A and B are shown apart, each in its own frame.
Chain A
Amino acid sequence: MAAFEELPEGCIATILSRTTPLDAGRLSLISKTFRSAADSDAVWDQFLPSDPNFIDSIISHSPSLANIQTKKALYLALSDRPIIIDNGKKSFQLDRKSGKKCIMLAARSFAITWGDDERYWNWIAMPESRFPEVAKLNHVWWLEIRGMINTLALSANTQYGAYLVFKMIDPSGFENLPVDLSVGVEGGNNNTKIVCLDSNVEPMWHIAGRRNRDWNRHMRRLQDRVVGLPRPNIRSDEWLEIEMGEFFNSSLEHEEVHMSVIETKAGQLKYNFFVEGIEIRPK
């Protein structure tokens, strides 16, 4: 049985560079040699996205990053909070666990039907948003929002989910309203999910007494339209989100992924819906 010698630091770094960012962070606690290996540029260079031009372009949006001395510190900074890029139209962050790219598209980058008409939609600043502007719905019958991302901006060989990020403040018209959310790669399959954007699962109206059977029947029929539909979840940044769909980025070619939010069938007015954007992150 071979006597076990001290593993050279280079060997340790080779092994750690093939684990995950979480493993490398944690295993630095093993010993001083391990910490030195685990914190080394050789390891964290493997976790950062491999295209150097990409890193340079992100750093150019966030000058404080330019002074970062080590690859580990750069990785932690890029995965710590979103960086606004593209003139306020996108935000970028690395997923800390995996090193994969996450992008949020701002509402300003979307094609919103009637979006330029102040009667229907306003663009406002909200301090709780990461972007300079948020789309505020005053009222509209025809709700149609379309966004697009090129897979060039994302990490290869990754399954991504797209999530609509929004708030409702004194909303109306979204209760019992099925909405179509779609995600599809251009030229490929388009998958549509039917959801309800209202977080309240409890019915809003009383079921009136037996005397008002027509009313009860009418309300029950409305509520049936959204029974079992997915509902939004609250995010850690306190916005709501709901999954629109998913896609696999194979990296063989650069493709456009189209996403949409559509409700144009019910013919009812919808009010006070605030759209921050669509987040695209690894599943």
Chain B
Amino acid sequence: MAQEASSSTSSKTISLKTGDGEIFEIEASAAKQMKTVQRLIDDLGDDITIPLHNVFSKELPKIIEYYKKDITGEITKDFEAEFVKDLNDDEVKVLFLAANYLDANKLFEFLSQNIADRLESKSVEYVRKYFGVENDFTPEEESKLREERAWSFRGIKEDE
């Protein structure tokens, strides 16, 4: 049964359990920013540990760090730059997928911009590898596409 929101929601914390079994605490007001978490709270109640099967202990702390700053209104350009500075491409990708799963809109938008920046001017092969996607075009289809879109290949480092 969903409980009534307590009048002191700002001090209430929610327990989240990652897919690899670790437990993290988060403020209820931060949990509100992640729509998936909020839906689980609405269904399961806020006294239960909320299970997040697709988010793991490597990335959840970083997400919690972001939303801690968000609820105090402290997200600045400097903070965001610092946030992604030491993340490699795989780490950003994992965080992005987690933000998508958690329906955490602000983080999702921010990371999508960061990934877009990392992909700018990169070759088709590079981006395929980055996302781990298989090329499902036939060679004929691919060369036809390349011809149609020749204008988009100007100035690209194809061997990167």
Q: Say whether, besides A5-B97, A7-B97, A18-B112, A31 and B128 are in contact (CB < 8 Å).
A: yes
Q: CB < 8 Å: which of A1, A14, A30 contacts B58?
A: A1
Interface size on B, residues (CB 8 A): 43
Main secondary structure of the interface of B (DSSP, over half): helix
A14 touches B120 (CB 8 A): no
Write the nearest CB–CB distance from B125 to chain A, whole angstroms: 9
A109 located at the interface, meaning its Cβ lies under 8 Å from any Cβ of chain B in the complex? no
Interface-centre pick from B93, B131, B134 (highest chain A CB count, 10 A)? B131
Write the nearest CB–CB distance from A225 to chain B, whole angstroms: 39
B131 touches A30 (CB 8 A): yes
- Measured between alpha carbons, how far is A15 from B56 in the docked complex, in Å? 23
B116 touches A16 (CB 8 A): yes
- Measured between alpha carbons, how far is A14 from B137 in the docked complex, in Å? 23
Write the nearest CB–CB distance from B71 to chain A, whole angstroms: 24
Beyond A1-B94, A22-B155, 15 additional pairs, beta carbon < 8 A: A1-B56, A1-B58, A2-B19, A2-B56, A2-B97, A5-B97, A11-B97, A15-B112, A22-B152, A23-B122, A29-B146, A30-B131, A31-B136, A34-B133, A35-B145
Q: Return the CB mask of B144-160 against A: 1 if under 8 Å, else 0.
A: 01100101111110000
B113 touches A18 (CB 8 A): yes
- Measured between alpha carbons, how far is A23 from B152 in the docked complex, in Å? 7
* B145 / chain A contacts, CB cutoff of 8 Å: 28-29, 35
7 tightest A-B CB contacts, nearest first: A25-B152, A18-B116, A26-B152, A19-B116, A14-B112, A22-B152, A29-B124
Q: CB < 8 Å: which of B19, B122, B131, B142 contacts A29?
A: B142
* A14 / chain B contacts, CB cutoff of 8 Å: 108-109, 112
Q: CB < 8 Å: which of B55, B93, B109 contacts A4?
A: B93
* B56 / chain A contacts, CB cutoff of 8 Å: 1-2
Q: CB < 8 Å: which of B109, B113, B117, B149 contacts A26?
A: B149
* A1 / chain B contacts, CB cutoff of 8 Å: 56, 58, 94
Q: CB < 8 Å: which of A4, A19, A28, A32 contacts B119?
A: A19
> What is the interface residue range for chain A against chain B?
20 to 34
- Measured between alpha carbons, how far is A23 from B145 in the docked complex, in Å? 14
B116 touches A15 (CB 8 A): yes
Write the nearest CB–CB distance from A158 to chain B, whole angstroms: 18
* A4 / chain B contacts, CB cutoff of 8 Å: 93, 97, 131-132
B136 touches A32 (CB 8 A): yes
In the complex, number of A-B residue pairs with CB atoms less than 8 Å apart: 94
A25 touches B149 (CB 8 A): yes
- Measured between alpha carbons, how far is A21 from B154 in the docked complex, in Å? 12
20 A-B pairs within 8 Å (CB atoms) are namely A2-B19, A2-B59, A4-B131, A4-B132, A7-B97, A11-B97, A11-B112, A18-B112, A19-B116, A20-B120, A21-B152, A22-B154, A23-B119, A23-B122, A25-B151, A26-B156, A27-B127, A28-B145, A31-B134, A31-B136
A228 located at the interface, meaning its Cβ lies under 8 Å from any Cβ of chain B in the complex? no
The residue of chain A having its C-beta at the shortest distance from the C-beta of B130 within the complex is A30
- Measured between alpha carbons, how far is A28 from B136 in the docked complex, in Å? 12
Q: Say whether, besides A27-B124, A30-B127, A15 and B133 are in contact (CB < 8 Å).
A: no
A231 located at the interface, meaning its Cβ lies under 8 Å from any Cβ of chain B in the complex? no
